[in-house]
């Protein structure tokens, strides 16, 4: 073993493995690494800190946060990484990116979750979509997300569902235990019972929670994001008067949001991020992203998709609704594009090497491939 390997075994296991105690967990890691290195490179091979990092990464099913050069560069351009698949909300993306860089650089309290965010804004403006992008960029997969609909926890008795009991696992505690490196999404937070909010106050403050069966569950490697529509009418009034998000944030957090949440609860969030309504131009860019996804699926079948510029603009016009954000757009694309494509595919009217043209008026024209 190199000296660096021994240091890495202690430091990384302290940071990332919370189900065992020292010195047993470092010793167990070193035994596991030595066995793997001997099998791969021979009994006389030297175990390095990189071998230890890879072993721990495999054990916890997550890349070890070591701020290697390639990852550091990715984090420095995090805004660009998020915006590859996310439209608008520049202020929200900037604030989230700054917080995640602080966390990955280990400039945070390691006894708390990686970050605690409250996303506030109207329906359909991309709050949940940004949570997915965070999971994808930070944890490398959108699947690394635990989602709780807080409207299901409006009764004080529902706390048992979250914590569990001696006979049954809790929805929150078991999910965190099974997915300790993920994003925890608390959707529609304002609908939960106040006692439920007190529960999450403890999680955000201490980074741990005792389950119904008496086991302490670790939350320090989760990113917690709560979404809410609370106070969005007030936000829209401010924006309609010409004010910017940056200018209204302090008044909104210190005054308007207090009608919904207690000050001590709001203060547990690293940042309260306000989302603004989407414009028709934003909707058109989102339509482009959705159609690019569809094109990618067709390409996997050997089929090309071409979208006329006017057809794209038409879909954006149909799908634009200031009250509901991007949600009507997804329905419009489903009704005007995906349903027709599905029918053509099932009927065998589109085959490999064919080109599908999406034209104005929802017209789909199929250009058959030349025979070989």
Choosing from 216, 239, 274, the residue where a domain stops is 274
Q: Are residues 97 and 119 in the same domain?
A: yes
Q: Are residues 229 and 293 in the same domain?
A: no
Q: What is the pLDDT of residue 66?
A: 43
118: left (phi over 0), alpha (psi -120 to 50) or beta: beta
Q: What is the pLDDT of residue 192?
A: 94
Q: Are residues 89 and 122 in the same domain?
A: yes
CATH number, domain of 129, equals: 3.40.50.300
Q: Are residues 31 and 165 in the same domain?
A: no
In angstroms, the CA 185 to CA 187 distance is: 6
Strands 115-120 and 271-274: parallel
**What CA–CA distances, in Å, run from 63 to 12, 57, 111, 178?**
12, 5, 20, 17
Q: Are residues 307 and 267 in the same domain?
A: no
In angstroms, the CA 57 to CA 50 distance is: 10
Residue 372 falls within a domain, yes or no? no
Q: What is the pLDDT of residue 18?
A: 63
Q: What is the pLDDT of residue 77?
A: 81
What's the 3-state SS for 248-278?
HHHHHHHCHHHHCCCHHHHCCCCEEEECCCC
Q: What is the pLDDT of residue 225?
A: 96
- Contact in structure between 25 and 17 (CB atoms under 8 Å): yes
Token couple for 365 = 């024209």
- Cis ω for the linkage preceding 252 (within 30 of 0): no
Q: What is the pLDDT of residue 310?
A: 94
Q: What is the pLDDT of residue 62?
A: 63
Residue 82 falls within a domain, yes or no? yes
Q: Are residues 219 and 309 in the same domain?
A: no
| Number of helices followed by number of strands (H, E) in the chain | 17, 10
**What CA–CA distances, in Å, run from 332 to 126, 313, 316, 319?**
17, 12, 9, 6
Residue 244 falls within a domain, yes or no? yes
In angstroms, the CA 276 to CA 325 distance is: 10
CATH number, domain of 330, equals: 1.10.8.60
Residue 157 falls within a domain, yes or no? yes
Residue 73 falls within a domain, yes or no? yes
Can you spell out the DSSP letters for 343-355? Answer: HHHHTT-S-TT-E
Q: At what angle do helices 280-299 and 309-319 cross, to 10 degrees?
A: 120
Total structural domains within the chain: 3
- pTM strictly above 0.75: yes
**Complete edge-to-edge strand list for the sheet that includes strand 115-120:** 145-149, 183-187, 223-228, 115-120, 271-274
Q: Are residues 218 and 82 in the same domain?
A: yes
Residue 202 falls within a domain, yes or no? yes
- Contact in structure between 127 and 119 (CB atoms under 8 Å): yes
Residue 51 CB coordination number (10 Å): 23
Own/partner pairs, 327-330, CB within 8 angstroms, 24+ separation: 327/123, 327/124, 328/124, 329/283, 329/286, 329/287, 329/290, 330/290
Q: What is the pLDDT of residue 67?
A: 37
Residue 302 CB coordination number (10 Å): 12
Choosing from 18, 36, 60, the residue where a domain stops is 60
- Provide the β-strand partners of residue 321: 325
Q: What is the pLDDT of residue 369?
A: 85
Q: Are residues 224 and 318 in the same domain?
A: no
Choosing from 274, 300, 321, the residue where a domain stops is 274
In angstroms, the CA 138 to CA 346 distance is: 38
Q: What is the mean pLDDT of each run of 10 residues along the chain (372 residues)?
A: 86 71 84 89 85 78 51 76 86 88 74 91 89 87 90 92 89 90 93 92 91 89 92 83 82 88 92 88 92 94 94 93 86 93 93 92 88 74
Residue 86 falls within a domain, yes or no? yes
Q: What is the pLDDT of residue 103?
A: 76
Residue 31 falls within a domain, yes or no? yes
In angstroms, the CA 136 to CA 237 distance is: 33
Q: What is the span of the domain harbouring residue 291?
A: 280-367
In angstroms, the CA 192 to CA 145 distance is: 20
Token couple for 206 = 């201490």
Q: Are residues 178 and 259 in the same domain?
A: yes
Q: Are residues 136 and 122 in the same domain?
A: yes
Q: Are residues 79 and 22 in the same domain?
A: no
**DSSP SS3 for 27:** helix
Q: Are residues 101 and 219 in the same domain?
A: yes
């Amino acid at each position: 073993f190199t000296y660096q390997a021994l240091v890495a075994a202690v430091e990384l296991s302290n940071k990332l493995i919370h189900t065992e105690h020292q010195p047993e967990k470092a010793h167990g890691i070193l035994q596991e690494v030595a066995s793997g290195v001997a099998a791969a490179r021979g009994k006389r091979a030297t175990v390095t800190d990189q071998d230890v990092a890879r072993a721990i990464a495999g054990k916890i099913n997550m890349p070890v946060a070591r701020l290697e050069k390639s990852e550091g560069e990715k984090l420095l351009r995090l805004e660009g990484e998020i915006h590859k698949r996310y439209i608008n909300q520049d202020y929200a993306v900037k604030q989230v990116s700054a917080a995640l860089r602080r966390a990955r650089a280990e400039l945070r309290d390691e006894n708390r979750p990686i970050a605690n965010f409250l996303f506030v804004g109207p329906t359909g403006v991309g709050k949940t979509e940004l949570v997915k992008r965070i999971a994808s960029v930070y944890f490398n997969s959108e699947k690394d997300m635990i989602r709780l609909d807080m409207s299901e926890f409006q009764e004080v008795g529902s706390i048992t569902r979250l914590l569990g009991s001696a006979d049954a696992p809790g929805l929150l505690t078991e999910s965190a235990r099974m997915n300790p490196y993920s994003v925890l999404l608390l959707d529609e937070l304002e609908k939960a019972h106040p006692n439920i909010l007190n529960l999450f106050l403890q999680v955000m403050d201490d980074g741990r929670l005792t389950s119904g069966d008496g086991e302490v569950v670790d939350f320090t490697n989760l990113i917690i994001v709560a979404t809410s529509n609370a106070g969005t009418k007030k936000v829209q009034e401010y924006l309609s008067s010409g004010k910017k998000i940056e200018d209204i944030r302090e008044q909104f957090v210190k005054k308007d949001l207090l009608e919904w949440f207690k000050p001590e609860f709001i203060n547990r969030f690293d940042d309260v991020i306000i989302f603004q309504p989407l414009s028709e131009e934003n909707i058109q860019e989102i339509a482009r992203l959705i159609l690019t996804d569809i094109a990618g699926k067709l390409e996997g079948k050997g089929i090309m998709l071409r979208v006329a510029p006017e057809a794209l603009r038409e879909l954006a016009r149909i799908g634009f609704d200031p009250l509901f954000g991007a949600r009507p757009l997804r329905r419009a694309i489903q009704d005007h594009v995906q349903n027709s494509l599905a029918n053509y595919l099932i009927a065998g009217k589109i085959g490999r090497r064919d080109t599908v043209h999406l034209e104005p008026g929802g017209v789909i024209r199929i250009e058959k491939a030349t025979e070989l």
